[in-house]
Amino acid sequence: MSTDPGYDANGTLPLTRDGRAVSDRGGTVCVIGAGASGLAAVKNLLEHGFGVDCYERETGVGGAWNWRHDRSPVSAGTHLISSKPMSQYPDFPMPDAWPDYPAHGLVLSYLERYAEHFELKPHVWFGTEVVRVEPAGGDRWDVTTRSTGGCGSQRTSRYAAVVVANGHNWAPRMPAYEGQESYRGEIIHGSAYKEPNQVRGRKVLVVGGGNTGCDIAVEAATHAARCWHSTRRGYWYAPKYLMGRPTDQVNAGVLRWRLPLWLRQRLMHRVLRLVVGDLTRFGLPRPDHGVFQSHPIVNGQLLHHVGHGGIRPVPEVARFTRHSVILTDGRELDPDLVVMATGYEPRFEFLDPGLLDRDADGRPRLYLHTFPAAQPTLAVAGLVQPDSGVLPLAHWQSVAFARWLRLREAAPQRAARFRERVSGGARGRWKDATPTDSPRHWFEVSHDVYLRELQRALDDLKAVPA
Ligand SMILES: Cc1cc2nc3c(=O)[nH]c(=O)nc-3n(C[C@H](O)[C@H](O)[C@H](O)COP(=O)(O)OP(=O)(O)OC[C@H]3O[C@@H](n4cnc5c(N)ncnc54)[C@H](O)[C@@H]3O)c2cc1C
Ligand SMILES: NC(=O)c1ccc[n+]([C@@H]2O[C@H](COP(=O)([O-])OP(=O)(O)OC[C@H]3O[C@@H](n4cnc5c(N)ncnc54)[C@H](OP(=O)(O)O)[C@@H]3O)[C@@H](O)[C@H]2O)c1
């Protein structure tokens, strides 16, 4: 045993970083976030025999679906837009008695039941925020945490691997218009819209044609004194049901026919023409892209309210004056409240941007939006925006990562095949139709294309027979 100062009783040099003690967690994997993706990662890593420490900045599980959380983007009226079978984890079905499109409270209760059933909570450090994740050599990671809100001291622990599951729908993407700073009305981001009282009796302008903008416009149609809905392009509006079945299930049925994309697009154009009709009759702009080329907007009520005069479609905002908003067609509106439903930016403040191969715009370039080319023991879970549910994809992403960690110990040569796939696939798209050029499509995937590629990866990573 060494008696040198700095060595501990076992004769080993205690780990330090920047003069701070580092606690060595051995082969344990760190998971950041206990939302839907983080919970799936904790469960699948435990099932593959790993120790797991999960850090969650909030005091409960559920992430975006826990609307008590500060950063939750859901509002009182939010329901799933992906139907139940397309939204649930493959190994934990939602109850049969639940409706096709559960409300956000049911989704939270589903995630809480999942955490209970698989006994995940003992592995989660609640109220603990990850502030830094740094390479520690030997493909290991130093993870620095503190109590949420910044009180208390920081603590650094060293892990064998890290899964980042911090969500990508919480940091508002706010546009900046000329004159906006001197505007006297109220401007909020769509994530700050929580319930209809915020628009009751007011003149409201909703900017943005994604699902958030459409949902808020629909609520404003019945509660606000007036509602304008500004979009910078035309969209396809899918109803929640086709022929009495949830639309995503009908779509999944059509996918089974294995028709070429152009034929599926033509088929869906016909169906929408028949069910929804000519959008320009409602005063909406004609879509500037084909069906399946943008993230689906699933809203059966928007056109109803446009047709009843509750929602007035207007073009893009050009600029603000002190008391009004000027549109690109020169019209002047005088809203009391402007809701910017303009989407979200991905944020990874605790990671050096290079570690996720982020490009100049800040967009990570990862194989399957999950695996960085140069960081074998780092993965991101849930950084996808599918045309159906996120949870099944997040489940299989974390199974793949757990299998990869096991295989690199057991069969390095076979594991190398997977790394080749990762290096070659960082710029993949996993989307059948080319999406419109918008940051909202950075992580857009077609669930069938994505799962097929993930299945290939999972095949590469099959366990070595004992
Ligand atoms: C309004 C709305 C409706 C949606 N509807 C659907 C739908 O119908 N179907 C569907 O499948 N998906 C839908 N989504 C997508 C939704 O984001 C996913 O269903 C799911 O919530 C993703 O889970 P996640 O764990 O990846 O992210 P999140 O749910 O955002 O969870 C991330 C977690 O990480 C924690 N965290 C973040 N940073 C840190 C840190 N530094 N340290 C510690 N903890 C941290 C957060 O507190 C949070 O708990 C919707 C999204 C929105 C905004
Ligand atoms: N379950 C539900 O009910 C529900 C409800 C809400 C949201 N969601 C999900 O949550 C995620 C985020 O949805 P979201 O609607 O908040 O964001 P989003 O899909 O990113 O849509 C943002 C919208 O704002 C527009 N926009 C962005 N920047 C703009 C600018 N500078 N000027 C004018 N318009 C601008 C975009 O136009 P472009 O198309 O031109 O880029 C788009 O119409 C999606 O996955 C969505 O499906 C689900």
pLDDT at 12: 62
Residue 394 lies in a domain: yes
Residue 63 structural domain? 15-171+345-460
Structure tokens given for 141 = 């990671």
Q: Residue 445 phi/psi, 5° resolution?
A: -135, 155
| The amino acid at 236 | W
Residues 213 and 156 in one domain: no
Task: Read off the DSSP letter of residue 296.
Answer: P
pLDDT in tens, 352-384: 999 999 999 999 999 999 999 999 999 999 999
User: Global pTM?
Assistant: 0.96
Give, for ligand 2, the residue of 216, 232, 437 to mutate: max count of ligand atoms closer than 8 Å to Cβ.
Answer: 232
Whether 466 maps to a domain, the answer reads: no
**Which residues, given as ranges, of the chain have pLDDT below 50?**
1-7
CB-ligand 1 contact for 143 (6 Å cutoff) = no
Q: Which helix (H) or strand (E) holds 28?
A: none
| Residues 375 and 256 grouped into a single domain | no
Looking at residue 11, its pLDDT comes to 56
Is 3 a member of any domain? no
Cβ 422 vs Cβ 397: under 8 Å: no
Task: Kindly state whether residues 388 and 408 are assigned to the same domain.
Answer: yes
Mutation to probe ligand 1, out of 114, 169, 349 (largest number of atoms < 8 A from CB): 169
Neighbours of 308 (CB within 10 A): 10
What is the Å distance from ligand 2's center to 18 Cα?
A: 41
- 55 ligand 1 Cβ < 6 A: yes
Instruction: Output the CA 44–ligand 1 centroid distance in Å.
Output: 18
pLDDT for 345 equals 96
| 399 & 428 share domain | yes
User: In which residue are the tokens 């997977």 written?
Assistant: 418
Question: Do 75 and 193 meet the contact criterion of CB atoms below 8 Å apart?
Answer: yes
Instruction: Report residue 61: phi and psi, to 5°.
Output: -80, 175
Residues 362 and 332 in one domain: no
* CATH code, domain with 264: 3.50.50.60
Across 280-415, the runs of DSSP E, i.e. the strands, are 297-298, 312-314, 317-320, 325-327, 332-333, 337-340, 344-345, 378-380, 385-386
Other residues' Cβ atoms within 10 Å of the Cβ of residue 334: 12
CA distances from 389 to 89, 146, 204, 218, 413 (A): 9, 32, 31, 23, 34
173 CA → ligand 2 middle, Å: 10
Q: Does residue 2 belong to any structural domain of this protein? A: no
Q: Tell me the C-alpha distance between 345 and 443, whole Å.
A: 11
State which of 291, 320, 342 marks the end of a domain. 342
How confident is the model at residue 426, as a pLDDT?
A: 85
Structural domain ending residue among the three candidates 342, 357, 372:
342
Compute CA 420 distance to the chain's CA centroid, rounded to the nearest angstrom: 27
Q: Which of 437, 302, 307, 445 is nearest to 370 (CA)?
A: 445
Decide if 381 contacts 165 (C-beta within 8 A): yes
- Give residue for tokens 């493909």: 139
- Best residue among 248, 295, 342, 431 to mutate for probing ligand 2's pocket (most ligand atoms within 8 Å of CB) is 342
Q: Which residues contact 359 (CB under 8 A, 6 or more apart)?
A: 365
How many CA atoms within 13 Å lie on the side-chain side of 8?
Answer: 8
Distance between Cα 440 and ligand 2 center (Å): 7
Instruction: Specify the pairing of strand 241-242 against strand 245-246.
Output: antiparallel
User: How many separate domains does the chain show?
Assistant: 2
Q: Which listed ligand is nearest to 299 at the C-alpha?
A: 2
- Same domain for 62 and 198, yes or no, is no
Q: How close is the Cα of 293 to the center of ligand 2, in Å?
A: 14
Pocket lining for ligand 2, CB < 6 angstroms: 78-81, 169, 175, 190, 207-213, 215, 231-233, 295, 316, 341-343, 385, 438, 440
| CB of 35 shorter than 6 A to ligand 1 | yes
The number of the ligand 2 atom at minimal distance from the alpha carbon of 80 is 1
Residues 255 and 313 in one domain: yes
Ligand 1 atom 38 nearest Cα: 166
**Could you tell me the distance, in angstroms and rounded to a whole number, from the CA of residue 395 to the centre of ligand 1?**
14
Q: CB under 8 Å to 370, separation ≥6 — which residues?
A: 379, 380, 381, 383, 397, 400, 401
Q: 197 and 310 share a domain?
A: yes
Length of the chain: 466
Residue after which a domain boundary falls, among 342, 365, 400: 342
- What atom of ligand 2 comes closest to residue 342's alpha carbon? 24
Do residue 186 and residue 129 come from a single domain? Answer: no
In a domain, 10, yes or no: no
The encoded tokens of residue 219 equal: 């609520």
Distance CA 14, CA 54 (A): 24
| Residue 39: burial class (beta carbons within 10 Å; 0-12, 13-18, 19+) | buried
**Nearest bound ligand to the CA of residue 298:** 2
d(CA 319, CA 198) in angstroms, rounded, equals 24
Q: Are residues 182 and 278 part of one domain?
A: yes
Interval between CA 210 and ligand 2 midpoint (Å): 3
